[in-house]
Structures are given as C-alpha cells and as structure tokens.
C-alpha cells in the first residue's frame, strides 16, 4: 500500500453539469423618483385622530357669545360631560345659559358686541369678557 497524499477535490467540471434553462424573472418594480410617493393611491386620506378644536359661537340678544377651546375643555369638568365632544358641550352650555349670559351683559355692554365666555367649572361661574375686560360674572 502506498500512502499517497490525497489532494483536495478541484472545482467541479462545468461541462459535466446539466444545462438548466434560465428562468424568466419578473423585472423589478421601478424605483420611485425623488419626491414621488412610493404607495401613492393605495391609502385613503389620513384619518383625523384628534378632534379639530374650534371655538363655539352663539348669537343671542344682539351679542355674539364665544367659547374658546380652552373654555370648552374646562366644560369637561362639569357633571354630564362624559362621552360628548367639545362642540356638543359648548352647544349644551349655551342652550342652558345663553339667556342668563345676555341678561348679565344688558345695560353694561352695548350690542352688537363679541363676548368671550370664560368658564370656571370649580366655582361654577362664567366670566363675560369684552376685549381684555371682564364685564360680567354669571353663576350657573
């Protein structure tokens, strides 16, 4: 027996392998151009996850009463506000208090005027401001 060193196998013989026909691959999708959305048209408009906050207005007795968004948020502290939107709370507040608010302004503020209603839910008072001046206070 001869001890001949075994040489590592060489590269496979390419001619000995069967020929495999190339598969037709689908061409890759075109790359988007800069500034072009990749999935344009696949999605609808972006959903509004946060309620759009706008002031609520009410015309009463020649005055334009306004509840700003901060005051609408304060209405959430009042009983019965659960499950209602800010605009629903503002409309409900004006439904119940508009006549009293106007009565607190008559004789002191000439109409027409825009009046901001500042709500304090803890003292249950509404401050009636014209410009930067408080012109009346109404308890509710």
Please state the domain count of the chain: 1
Q: Is residue 62 part of a domain?
A: yes
Provide the mean pLDDT of the chain: 81
Range of the domain at 90: 56-139
Residue 131: name the closest of 107, 113, 119 by CA. Answer: 113
Q: Is residue 105 part of a domain?
A: yes
Count Cα neighbours of 69 within 13 Å in the Cβ-side half-sphere: 4
Q: Is residue 118 part of a domain?
A: yes
Count Cα neighbours of 37 within 13 Å in the Cβ-side half-sphere: 5
Tokens, residue 72: 């609408």
Q: Is residue 17 part of a domain?
A: no
d(CA 18, CA 39) in angstroms, rounded, equals 43
d(CA 68, CA 126) in angstroms, rounded, equals 13
Q: Is residue 3 part of a domain?
A: no
Q: Is residue 35 part of a domain?
A: no
Q: pLDDT tens digits, residue range 5-53?
A: 666 665 555 555 555 555 666 777 777 676 655 555 566 676 665 555 7
Q: Is residue 129 part of a domain?
A: yes
């Amino acid at each position: 027996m001869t001890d001949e060193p075994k040489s590592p196998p060489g590269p496979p013989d390419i001619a000995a392998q069967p020929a495999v026909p190339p598969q037709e691959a689908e061409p890759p999708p075109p790359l988007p151009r800069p500034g072009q959305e990749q999935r344009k048209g696949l999605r609808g408009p972006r959903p509004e996850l946060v309620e759009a906050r706008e002031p609520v207005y009410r015309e009463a007795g020649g005055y334009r009463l306004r509840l700003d968004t901060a005051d609408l948020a304060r209405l959430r502290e009042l009983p019965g506000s659960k499950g209602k939107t800010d605009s629903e709370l503002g409309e409900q507040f004006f439904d119940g208090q508009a006549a009293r608010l106007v009565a607190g302004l008559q004789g002191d503020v000439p109409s027409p005027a825009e009046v901001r209603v500042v709500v304090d839910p803890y003292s249950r008072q509404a401050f009636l401001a014209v410009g930067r001046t408080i012109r009346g206070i109404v308890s509710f």
